Amino acid sequence: MFEAPIPILASTLIGLEQSKEDNRPGPVSCGSKDIDEEVLFGGFHYGETTSIAGITGMGKTLISLNAVASLLITDQDAEVALVDCNGSFSAVRLRNIVAVRLKGAREQSKYKETGYVYEQIDESKDSKDEDLIREATKSLERVKVMRVLDFLGVIEAVQEVTEMCDRAEKALQEEKVKDQQIVRLAAVVEEGVVPSSQDDDADEEILDTEIIDDETAGEDHHSDTTEYQGRPVKMLVIDNIAHHAGPMISSNQIDGQALLLTCMRSIHRITREHSLCTLLVNNMVGNSTSSSTRYARRPQDNVSIFASVAGRPALGKTFDRMVDLSIMLSRLPATKKDADTAYGPEANANSFWKSVGVMEVLHDRHSKRHERWAAFDMHEGLEISYWSP
């Protein structure tokens, strides 16, 4: 028999929401401080679902792994849940990215400001490459990788992350209750106030209950509460969500879109309730030209602010509107001279011109990042840097 939901006064939720906002950490860097400020208003924000779309080799996975590295370096207690849909995750690559980011941070910390000059601090043993690799490898203990073979596996992985977050939240609340009980009892002892018999019996009952719970729960109790104490999941990465969702929708449009909608609702819920930083790696479609007038790209099909960029994020417009921030990566000529070589009247397939990656915001639900963009370069598949002529 169903029970009616208990109504909650909206005024009681203000403090809870304000507390979440106050305790929410700063944005997670994409790997380049300049791009963070220019495009993302500081980086990838907690409590938001971000889609990163682009063709193969454009840096989608590189940016998401750099975001993972940023979290592992800046928050020593955070864990990352990474759903690997296409089997492309490389632990060695992530370790090397973390090591490169650690090395860059150490090089910046070699100098300290003293008045008007900067004096160099002697290099320590920690900055050696082997120590960086060791520290980077240690940080991977906080990355939980889940390999999935179909979209139902993606849904199950999201459910598993939800349970992990719920258990961590429950453990945190229980810890807060215990701390409050200790503070209350300590205050009573400090003031020298003798509690009444009813209060004394209540305190003894609380303590007895805790002892009974600890003795009877056994290993199952510790696996539900202490496993995630101090190590909450703060980032969810799904790479690549279109790998399984695309074929599913192509084979059955109605059922496929329904499953995708259900999964996205679950992702949106845990992202908001647990203040996760969620990154969804996506593909691009429609970027190839066609000689047929029926399938030729029309100007109204363009989603980019650049006229020469063809294509749009995969999985349809509905998916793009279900995320908080939609980012697309493309490649454009670096300079005007390169653009003339690529698209000018004398352009041909054998023309050589320098290109750079471009990150642009297609859709932003919460702030004014829409149509912001920046050019970037990739280095050895490990680093991303802001590019300017």
Tokens at residue 28, please? Answer: 């997670």
Return the closest-CA partner of residue 152 out of 46, 243, 227, 244: 244
The predicted-structure confidence for 192-250, as pLDDT tens digits, reads as follows: 655 555 555 545 544 454 444 444 444 444 444 444 454 789 999 999 999 999 999 99
- The per-residue pLDDT for 34 is 94
Predicted pLDDT of residue 137: 94
Say what the pLDDT of residue 111 is: 53
| CA atoms of 389 and 384, how far apart (whole Å) | 16
Helix axes 151-191, 253-273, angle to 10 degrees: 20
Closest CA to 145 of 225, 219, 65: 65
What pLDDT does 301 receive? 64
Under a CB-based contact definition with an 8 Å cutoff, are residues 384 and 35 in contact? yes
pLDDT at 115: 47
CA distances from 388 to 20, 105, 186, 262 (A): 38, 22, 60, 42
pTM as predicted: 0.79
- For the chain, what is the largest distance between any 2 Cα atoms, rounded to a whole number of angstroms? 95
Q: Which of 42-46, 160-164, 183-187, 307-311 has the lowest mean pLDDT?
A: 183-187
Q: What is the pLDDT of residue 297?
A: 57
Q: What is the 3-state secondary structure (H, E, C) of the chain?
A: CCCCCCCCCHHHHHHHHHHHHHHCCCCECCCCHHHHHHCCCCCECCCEEEEEECCCCCCHHHHHHHHHHHHHHHCCCCEEEEEECCCCCCHHHHHHHHHHHHHHHHHHCCEEEECCEEEECCCCHHHCHHHHHHHHHHHHHHEEEEECCCHHHHHHHHHHHHHHHHHHHHHHHHHHHHHHHHHHHHHHHHHCCCCCHHHHHHHHHHHHHHHHHHHHHHHHHHHHHHHHCCCCEEEEEEECHHHHHHHHHHHCHHHHHHHHHHHHHHHHHHHHHCCCEEEEEECEECCCCCCCCCCCCCHHHCCCCCCCCCCEECCHHHHHHHCCEEEEEEEEECCHHHHHHHHCCCCCCCCCCCEEEEEEEEEECCCCCCCCEEEEEEECCCEEEECCC
Lowest-confidence segment of 11-20, 35-44, 325-334, 348-357 by average pLDDT: 11-20
Residue that the structure tokens 């990355």 belong to: 143
Residue 381 burial (C-beta neighbours within 10 Å; 0-12, 13-18, 19+): middle
Predicted confidence at residue 109, as pLDDT, reads 65
Structure tokens at 7: 């109504």
Report, as an integer, the average pLDDT of 67-73.
Answer: 95
Asked if residue 264 has pLDDT above 70, the reply is: yes
Between 49 and 306, the more confident residue is 49
Interatomic CA distance for residues 30 and 11, integer angstroms: 37
Mark residue 65 as left, alpha or beta (left: phi above 0; alpha: psi -120 to 50; beta: remaining): alpha
Model confidence at 187, pLDDT cuts 50, 70, 90, reads: confident
In 3D space, the residue among 143, 30, 148 whose CA is nearest the CA of residue 82 turns out to be 143
At 370-385, the pLDDT tens digits run 889 999 999 988 999 9
Which of 46, 31, 58, 29 is closest to 240 using CA atoms? 58
**pLDDT averaged over the chain?**
81
pLDDT band at residue 37 under the 50/70/90 scheme: very high
| pLDDT tier for residue 8 given thresholds of 50, 70 and 90 | confident
Tens of pLDDT, residue by residue over 100-127, are 999 888 777 665 544 444 545 455 554 4
The Cα-based distances of 44 to 33, 152, 308 in angstroms read 12, 27, 27
Instruction: State mean pLDDT over 18-32.
Output: 82
- Exposure on the CB side of residue 92, measured as CA atoms within 13 A: 1
What confidence score (pLDDT) does residue 226 get?
43
- How high is the pLDDT of residue 171? 81
Q: Give the residue, 288 or 53, on which the prediction is more confident.
A: 53
Each residue of 329-347: pLDDT tens digit?
A: 999 998 888 888 888 877 7
| Least confident window among 134-148, 286-300, 354-368 | 286-300
Top pLDDT among 323 and 106 is at 323
**What does the alpha-carbon distance between residue 185 and residue 177 come to, in Å, rounded to a whole number?**
12
**Confidence grade of residue 156 (pLDDT, cut at 50, 70, 90):** very high
